[in-house]
């Protein structure tokens, strides 16, 4: 085998190993279910304290949130390298204790999954492709945006 061919084969094997390792890491990411582009559909509730006016809330409806391992974008704010820490708690007691509110009209699973973004915002998966973004005391429903077949979103 020539030196050149040996070098090319070595590079190919290293690249293949790196790609496979990358795919394996992403597949094991516990937050893969929240990554993507989300459209803010509605205000669905809030905690005991919110500093936003109705007009400010209405300006958020229809905007997009971007959730990725590298960044969390919501309402014009970008948080680089968020640390999505997950925990589970009994739904009613969590919202009563942490938000001083009743969420019995929101179809959360029990126990509820709480995702702390480390960006002063919390995420709560409601069901497949639906999550709640809790920001500044306001609870927004977000729905995952799906790309049309063959197209990708460009953020």
DSSP-derived 3-state class of residue 137: coil
Can you list the positions of beta strands (E) in 5-154? 36-46, 64-67, 71-74, 77-80, 85-89, 112-116, 121-127, 130-135, 138-144
Please report which confidence band the pLDDT of residue 111 belongs to, taking 50, 70 and 90 as the band edges.
Answer: very high
For 8-54, the pLDDT digits (tens) are 566 665 556 555 554 444 558 999 999 999 999 999 998 877 879 89
**Mean pLDDT confidence for 107-132:** 94
């Amino acid at each position: 085998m020539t030196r050149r061919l040996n070098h090319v084969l070595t590079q190919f094997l290293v690249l293949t190993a790196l790609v496979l390792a990358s795919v394996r890491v992403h597949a094991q990411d516990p937050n893969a279910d929240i990554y993507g582009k989300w459209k803010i559909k509605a205000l669905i509730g809030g905690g005991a304290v919110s500093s936003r006016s109705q007009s400010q809330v209405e300006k958020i409806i229809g905007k997009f949130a971007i959730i990725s391992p590298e960044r969390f974008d919501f309402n014009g704010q970008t948080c680089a390298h968020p640390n999505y820490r997950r925990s589970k708690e009994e739904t009613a007691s969590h919202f009563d204790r942490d938000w001083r509110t009743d969420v019995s009209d929101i179809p959360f699973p029990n126990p509820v999954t709480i995702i702390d973004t480390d960006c002063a915002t919390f995420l709560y998966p409601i069901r497949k492709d639906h999550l709640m973004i809790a920001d500044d005391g306001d609870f927004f429903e977000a729905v995952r945006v799906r790309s049309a077949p063959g197209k990708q979103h460009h953020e």
